[in-house]
Structure 1
Amino acid sequence: MQSLKNIFSSTLHLFYPHVCTGCGSDLLEENNLLCLHCINDLPHTDFAQFNNNPVEKIFWGRIPVTAAHSQFYFAKETLLQHLIHQLKYKNNTAIGFYLGELMGTSLLQSNRFNHIDYLVPLPLYPDKERKRGYNQAAIICNGMSEVMNVPVLKDTIIRQRFTETQTRKHRTERWENVEGSFVVKDPAIIKGKNILLVDDVVTTGATLEACGSVILQTEEVKLYIATLAHAAK
């Protein structure tokens, strides 16, 4: 019987190969998304453990952030860029959920994110989210929620106007591009809460600052920030 199962499994793998999302290797366990080589190649930062880390310094003098973290270092033409591209543009929500679980685990291991009340994905403009089919930040939050046991708040903070891509803009242009883009629909929901605002990549922090500043207008809110990746300017 076991021999028949092995034959069936081998035949199934031949026609429907289960391959690593990172490198395409088929040398991985059945339920894994990444092979051991790619898992070991992920560039973790350990920022969650330290005050005044590089992500927190981005927001110094701009908005009061209680604590901030990025799970990975970002660089072009790397495994991590490939995985984020898979999440954002190739409908690979499974990898986003998985990376969110990794980030949630790191936050649990830190004593600096112990009292989060809500995970808030950075909102997309509704037309953009409909076109993509999902908000990648919400997928990351779902993975984090699975391990942190913290609810995801998806519709209380909304993006009320379309903004151009930030990729080729400098810091001042990025801020002007997103200023006034966000609104809190029901401040009573987040009043007095510890809010963890989540996105995929932080560079200058302009978009997170614009959204975070609106959140902080609600009474007695504490703001935390977490992103999958930190891209040095």
Structure 2
Amino acid sequence: MSTLSELLRDAAALVLPPVCPVCGTRLMPGERGLCTLCRLTAPLTGYCGEADNPVLRKFWGLVPVVRASAFLYYVRDSGWRRMIHGFKYRGAWLAARTMGEWYGECLAESGLYGGVDAVVPLPLHPVKRIWRGYNQSEYLAEGIAAALGVAVDRRSVRRSRHTASQALKPHRERAGNVEGAFAVRHPERLAGRHILLVDDVMTTGSTLASCAQAIVQAVPDCRISIAVLAVSRRELGLKE
């Protein structure tokens, strides 16, 4: 039986034929979420299948992390950047769900994330969530969780302090901006579990590290892995 969201999506497709969120071309029959050309030319990092990679190293000395990965390189002035901004700021949440599904399939195929028990989207502060109307990281988490065959946990971790956007802060101020910004309200749900913390874009890694630190402090036996959709080469110290 189709869900209400699926019925609404199908009805909308009759009026507005689906287009690729990256290049804007109309999707052909059989294409799911993205056009074939964009899937073939996507700036994939390949880190899903690498136990040791530059994303994991970003967290060395900050917080204990089992695995860490980014799916795409964040490319300025590209269709991929416009797609990310679309689901981050303009309500195009379906693209986030599509990317989460694709990312999750790659994580599952790698075999490195088979021990994950639950997927935790990086929470937004309630004020920002009300203003935006949704949390894009939750849609990414839904797609990833579906591919890994685990549940999404939206309730155990919360954003306890409203902070200014990291994008508006100089790099040197970002760690302080998010210090103490997260709290665990249901530690019993995370005890002894391996969770995958999910976010859309990573820059310095300060926000994810702050959230992971709050979890580890509240639940010392919780193991944490990290999955971000996109990261820039520059932030990883790689050539553009």
Instruction: Answer yes or no: same fold by TM over 0.5.
Output: yes
Give the residue type in structure 2 aligned to 1:219: P
* Aligned 1:63-78 pairs, distance under 5 A: 63-78=63-78
Find the aligned partners of 2:30 and 2:17 in 1 and give their Cα distance.
Answer: 10
CA distance in 2, matches of 1:189, 1:26: 43
Give 5+ residue unaligned stretches, structure 2. Answer: 1-11, 236-240
Secondary structure of 2:131's counterpart equals helix
Corresponding position: 1:191 with 2:191: yes
Counterparts of 1:21-36 in structure 2, within 5 Å, are 21-26=21-26, 28-29=28-29, 32-36=32-36
- Contact 1:28-1:34 within 8 A present in 2 as well: no
Contact 2:97 2:139 in 1 (8 A): yes
1:215–1:24 distance in 2 versus 1, CA, 3 Å: same
**1:57-96 aligned within 5 A:** 57-96=57-96
Percent identical across equivalent pairs? 36
- For 1:117, the equivalent position in structure 2 comes to 117
Give the secondary-structure state (helix, strand or coil) at the position aligned to 2:37: helix
CA separation of 1:110 and 1:31: change in aligned 2, threshold 3 A:
closer
Label 1:16 to 1:220 Cα distance change in 2 as closer, same or farther (>3 A): closer
Map 1:5-154 → 2, pairs under 5 A: 16-26=16-26, 28-29=28-29, 32-154=32-154
The structure whose Rg is larger is 1
Partner residue in 2 for 1:219: 220
The alignment's C-alpha RMSD in Å is: 1.8
Following superposition, the deviation at residue 133 of structure 1 comes to: 1.1
Q: Partners of 2:107 and 2:14 in 1: how far apart?
A: 39
The question of whether the paired residues in 1 share the 8 Å contact of 2:118 and 2:145 is answered with no
Query: Could you say if the C-alpha distance between residues 30 and 66 of structure 1 is closer, same or farther in structure 2, counting changes exceeding 3 Å?
Result: closer
Give runs of ≥4 in structure 1 deviating > 3 Å: 12-18
Conserved in 1, the CA contact under 8 Å of 2:114 and 2:148?
A: no
Q: Which moved more, 1:140-149 or 1:15-24?
A: 15-24
The two structures have a TM-score, normalised by structure 1, of 0.89
For residue 119 of structure 1, report the CA deviation from its aligned partner: 0.3
Name the CA distance, whole Å, in 1 between partners of 2:111 and 2:168.
36
Aligned residues: 222
Per mean C-alpha deviation after superposition, the further-off stretch among 14-23 and 40-49 is 14-23
**For residue 148 of structure 1, what is the amino acid of its counterpart?**
L
- Give the whole-Å Cα distance in 2 for the aligned partners of 1:25 and 1:18: 9
2:113 and 2:194 map into 1 onto residues whose CA distance is 9
